[in-house]
Amino acid sequence: MHSCDDTIHGPRRGLVPEDLLRYAWLDSIALDPTGKQLAYVVRRIDAAHDAEVGCLWLHDRATGRTTPIESRRGRVGSLAWSREGDRLAYVLTGPHLGSAGWVLVVTSPGEAHSTVECADDGGVPSALDWSPDGRTLACVRWTADSTNASEEGQGSQRGTYRRVRRLRYKQDGVGWVGDRFRQIWTVDPFAGTWTQRSSTDLDHGEPCWSWDGTRIAFTVTAREQDMPLGYGQIRILDVRSGVTIVPLPAWKGMASGPKWRADDAVIAFTGHDHPPPVHRRRFAHVWTVDLASGEPTDLTERLDAQVGNYAVSDLRPGLTTVTVAWPGGTGDLWFLSTDRGRVHLCRVDPDDGRPRVEVGGNGVVFAFSVASDGSVAYGRTDPRTVGDLYLLGETAPRRIAALNAWVEDHALSEPIEMNVVTDAGDSVHAWEMKPIERQQGVPYPAIVQVHCSMFSWGFSHENQCLVTAGFVVHYANQVGTTAGYGQAHALGNYVGHQHLEAAEILFAVDELARRPYVDASRIGVTGGSCGGYMTNWLVTRTDRFRAAVTQRSIANLVSKFGTGDNGPEQATAEGARPPWSNVDTLWRNSPLAHVHRVTTPMLILHASDDHRCPLSQAEEWFSALRWQGVPTQLVVFEGESHGLTRSGRPSNRLDHLCRLRDWFTTHLAKRNGVLS
């Protein structure tokens, strides 16, 4: 592990990289339908095994007592309450669970507590949903396509190979998927019997039982990216006959998260009806479809906002699923909505279509659960809170679990909100964080963070570590931010328009350089994914940055088309064209095309198993920089995916952060070797 030699100053120090090992993270939460019990998962780092582990807790609302109900070393997920609230199912994964590596657990909390465990040699189940009678679970599992398991051929010897027949042949965080598909299964956990319910060459997800127990709604996605089916469609399975119907035959966009109305005549879902190919900056809304007529209704049409949590975080595995909740199948629909760096918990009446914010403010709601009795639980983070669990009360929210009280004993830097108005009159929403220990009149080095997705009002361990190290940290949601500033703003930096994004960033850097507490000669830049692309792009535009760190980045838009798991849809979204008919535009907007202009020392941090921004992107960029004589290093983290900094092995996450900080400490230091 890369060494992190941190000196602690004063009685209340700031946060340092090693504090990553101390956090507890709220993960899944699930209220039982009656609202009496609240189950939730808390993840921690097991440093001895270099892994994360989860503990499942149960909060009894009547007694106020909270007790652990699963504490074996492993990961807990896919929480699902039966509709009577008497059974809780979940999946436990871990190396200690035998050859399968997982077990499906059904527990009946209460006086007559009982537990049933069920497993077989198939794929790990996920997305659990109980049938109304509480006897059967629907789920999703990776399943080999038996019809293509073998090939006809002459001869007795065959080579070792991977056969690719579809465009999405690999997925970041999953690996090479080949002829495996996510299929719908049902399981009787008490008898231990598993039944495969789908077998098409599509990826299935999000099963949801109808209220009468005769049908299962789910989503399907094709492996191709240039057709509507490649972005998610809803289908309905008749459990008895096995017949599948398509409730939205004319739908051409994206659909996810189906939920039934109590009379089983209407399904709610999230998505958009924009034709492919699209990228995730196309806003999803809350919809319903009348099953009799097949007519969809956009309930949030008047809301120019993205449904879901699109706030970037270095402490959560990924973005919250873009989904909707319909407790009891009646009343309002609940969802998350992203707005100017904040993520709100909202509700909408399906009859009047008027969204209302129930939990707002300068923070990020990253998970929620709503019971049939109207009870609401949610997880929320803000600049001072890593992420706590709350129940929504009549007068004020009530905190159920404060998971990181130790953070309150440390010095934190509060983000300062600002709006930078460019020469063109555009307003750029931004934040700055000042060093923990600073002296009046002393200018400090600064680091400009450029994003992938959206910077937010959430807690950032990385930024807190950087301000502890003596840096001013600046970050902004310039044009092209995934969500929070309207659809037009989100689509404003597509292929051919990157100069708009770069211009806004550099204008904000001009403003930053004029701050009396910033040393304009010592400014660095960093970002990951599309933020890594923008880091690469910026150093081809200017030499004003003394150092740069590019993370899981893109350097060549031409080769990205055929090597990234989302390359084709990313390169051709919103009217752009594929490389063979648009190579000049893609190449002109690739940092690699302008590498001869780069003089900025650059650290390249990448993961070996990144299928979103493949390692080849980092290799192309590194080779070109070295050939040009630019001071550069490439560090590759073995066995990690694109989500390295959020869900990678703890040792690699810590090492990654230390290398980023130390690169800037070295290159932004004054000649005497100190930052200030």
Report how far apart, in Å, the C-alpha atoms of 110 and of each of 32, 34, 39, 375 are: 13, 14, 13, 20
pLDDT of res. 565: 85
pLDDT of res. 495: 60
Check whether 4 has a pLDDT greater than 70: no
49 lies in some domain: no
Q: What is the reported pTM? A: 0.94
Query: CA–CA separation, 318 vs 255, rounded Å?
Result: 19
Q: Write out the two tokens for 580.
A: 């063979």
pLDDT of res. 156: 53
The mean pLDDT of the chain is 91
Query: CA–CA separation, 339 vs 485, rounded Å?
Result: 7
Check whether 213 has a pLDDT greater than 50: yes
Check whether 154 has a pLDDT greater than 60: no
Strand, helix or coil at 272?
strand
85 lies in some domain: no
CATH number, domain of 588, equals 3.40.50.1820
459 lies in some domain: yes
244 lies in some domain: no
Q: Tell me the pLDDT tens digit for each residue of 334-389.
A: 999 999 999 999 999 999 888 999 999 999 999 999 999 999 999 999 999 999 99
Question: Mean pLDDT over residues 281-296, rounded?
Answer: 95
Query: CA–CA separation, 222 vs 202, rounded Å?
Result: 5
Q: Tell me the pLDDT tens digit for each residue of 624-653.
A: 999 999 999 999 999 999 999 999 999 999
Question: Mean pLDDT over residues 583-603, rounded?
Answer: 95
Q: Tell me the pLDDT tens digit for each residue of 261-270.
A: 999 999 999 9
Q: Which of 80-89, 537-546, 664-673 has the lowest mean pLDDT?
A: 664-673
566 lies in some domain: yes
**Domain count of the chain?**
1
CB-based contact 573:278 (threshold 8 Å): yes
Q: Which of 413-417, 477-481, 659-663 has the lowest mean pLDDT?
A: 477-481
73 lies in some domain: no
Selected residue with higher pLDDT from 573 and 25? 25
Query: CA–CA separation, 509 vs 519, rounded Å?
Result: 12
Query: CA–CA separation, 282 vs 81, rounded Å?
Result: 33
Report how far apart, in Å, the C-alpha atoms of 296 and of each of 267, 274, 293, 363 are: 9, 14, 9, 32
pLDDT of res. 569: 78
Check whether 191 has a pLDDT greater than 60: yes
Check whether 148 has a pLDDT greater than 80: no
102 lies in some domain: no
Check whether 396 has a pLDDT greater than 90: no
Cβ neighbours for 155, distance < 8 A, ≥ 6 positions apart: none
pLDDT of res. 120: 87
Report how far apart, in Å, the C-alpha atoms of 447 and of each of 522, 524, 545, 586, 661 are: 9, 5, 9, 29, 10
| 439 alpha-carbon distance from chain centroid | 38
Query: CA–CA separation, 230 vs 278, rounded Å?
Result: 10
51 beta partners: 46
Range of the domain at 555: 407-667
Q: Tell me the pLDDT tens digit for each residue of 412-429.
A: 999 999 999 988 888 999
184 lies in some domain: no
Q: Quick one: what percent of the chain has pLDDT higher than 70? A: 94
Q: Quick one: what percent of the chain has pLDDT higher than 90? A: 75
